[in-house]
Amino acid sequence: GLKGLLNNQWTGKGFDRELNQLLDMLYLEQSNGKGEMQKQHQAACIIQAMWRGFQTRRRLKKLPQAVTALQRSFRAKREQELQHLAKQKEDEALKLQMQLQRQRAMRLFHERQLALLERVHASQVNKYMEEMEDKSALTIQRFWRGYRARRIFHQQKQSLKEYKAAVIIQRTACKFLEKRRRRRPVSPWKEPKGLTDEQRLALQQKVDDYIKLHPASQMSEEMSKELHMQAQEKLAQFLLRSRLDQRAAERRETLLAQVNTDVELLMNAPGLAETTEKDISVFVSRSVPVATKARQSHNTMLKYTRWPWWKKLGDEFMEDDVIPDEALNTELETLFIGGRK
């Protein structure tokens, strides 16, 4: 290696000291490298051992599951094979049973034939056998012809469908063409006949005569506005006059009601011997009737303010202290407790 080469070629050249230092350094590096390699080798061995142990433990953990899956698949496969064998045995038993039934039927048939032949005279046996052979031949021929016809039908089924479809299409096309031939040709459009000069003059004369008999009223815009304002003023005056008259009538009715109430109180007043301070206060002070009247008027006005807008149409010229007829009637009816109109 490098150490032997340096010792052989560079020893005794005048720099042995430096050469020895270099060799010592190389030796230390070589020894350190060997130790590092040993450590890495040991670490690799430990890692491999841990990895192999992990894989082994994982395989051991999965081994019961694999064994269970293997057993399950084996049992399922064995169950399928057993079912298949049982089905085969059932099919074979069924075939054997059908074969035995056929043999039994053939034996019974032959026994019946022999029993019939025993009853037939000896001279009629050949004739009977010929008849049976003819019947058998006819039966075989009938079955063979049916089988051949069914086979041919299945082979020609698609061609028969195509043939039927072609027949249906041809019939439909023939019907359509027949209807088209029977249809009448459409007559060309004809323009309406125009009016002659004499007809136009007569029609114009009729229009002029009608306009002369029924002339249209002509009025300017200013005249229409003036007429509208006059109608509005007259309507306002009428409504105001009617409201004033109604208010005066209501006042008269109120005074009459008050008078009737006072008269009723006087008529129903107790005698002097039975009079109490409460009865005297009723006649001395009018606070009770006034409070009752005020409360009733307040309730009536509240009801009137709660009316919908369509009940208040035409009240533009109504004064604030005027009460409607229905409210007034309600008020007077509640006020006329014992009086008369």
Model confidence over 178-232: pLDDT tens digits?
888 887 665 666 666 777 888 889 989 999 998 888 876 777 788 888 888 999 8
- Domain limit, last residue, from 95, 118, 141: 118
- Domain limit, last residue, from 118, 148, 180: 118
Per the model's pLDDT, the better-predicted residue between 285 and 116 turns out to be 116
Q: Which amino acid is at 200?
A: R
Query: Please, what's the largest Cα pairwise distance for the chain?
Result: 173
- Domain limit, last residue, from 118, 141, 156: 118
Give the total number of structural domains in the chain. 3
HSE-CB for 219 with a 13 A CA cutoff: 9
| Cα separation values, 291 from 81, 207, 264, 321, 338, Å | 112, 76, 18, 18, 17
CA proximity to 1, closest of 26, 35, 32, 28: 26
Q: Are 261 and 327 found together in one domain? A: yes
Q: What confidence tier does 81 reach under pLDDT thresholds 50, 70, 90?
A: very high
Residue 24 has pLDDT above 90, yes or no: no
Supply the mean pLDDT for the chain.
Answer: 78
**Chain mean position to CA 175:** 46
3-class DSSP state for residue 109?
helix
Residue 338 has pLDDT above 90, yes or no: no
Q: Are 67 and 24 found together in one domain? A: yes
Per the model's pLDDT, the better-predicted residue between 335 and 246 turns out to be 246
Q: Are 103 and 85 found together in one domain? A: yes
The verdict on residue 139 lying in a domain is yes
The verdict on residue 14 lying in a domain is yes
Residue 296 near residue 328, CB atoms below 8 Å: no
This prediction's pTM: 0.25
The verdict on residue 301 lying in a domain is yes
Residue 278 has pLDDT above 80, yes or no: no
Model confidence over 250-271: pLDDT tens digits?
888 888 887 887 787 778 777 7
- Under DSSP, the state recorded for 183 is S
Residue 324 near residue 250, CB atoms below 8 Å: no
Q: Are 135 and 48 found together in one domain? A: no
Q: Are 113 and 7 found together in one domain? A: yes
Q: What confidence tier does 148 reach under pLDDT thresholds 50, 70, 90?
A: very high
The verdict on residue 143 lying in a domain is yes
Residue 6 near residue 23, CB atoms below 8 Å: yes
The verdict on residue 197 lying in a domain is no
CB atoms within 10 A of CB 257: 20
Domain of residue 296, residue span? 248-335
pLDDT of residue 211: 86
Residue 306 has pLDDT above 60, yes or no: yes
Q: Are 89 and 21 found together in one domain? A: yes
Q: Are 31 and 136 found together in one domain? A: no
Residue 283 has pLDDT above 90, yes or no: no
pLDDT of residue 189: 66
Q: Are 89 and 148 found together in one domain? A: no
Q: Are 35 and 135 found together in one domain? A: no
The verdict on residue 185 lying in a domain is no
The verdict on residue 175 lying in a domain is no
Phi, psi angle pair for 272, to nearest 5°: -65, -30
Residue 117 near residue 125, CB atoms below 8 Å: yes
The verdict on residue 223 lying in a domain is no
Q: Which DSSP string do the residues of 297-332 spell out, in sequence order?
A: HHHHHHHHHTS-GGGGTT-TT--TT---HHHHHHHH
Question: Please, which residues have CB within 8 angstroms of residue 257's CB and are 6 or more apart in sequence?
Answer: 332, 335, 336, 339, 341
Q: Are 162 and 71 found together in one domain? A: no
Q: Are 56 and 114 found together in one domain? A: yes
Residue 264 near residue 339, CB atoms below 8 Å: yes
d(CA 298, CA 321): 11
Q: Are 24 and 103 found together in one domain? A: yes
Model confidence over 150-175: pLDDT tens digits?
888 888 888 888 888 889 899 989 99
Residues in the chain: 341
List the structure tokens of 3: 């150490």
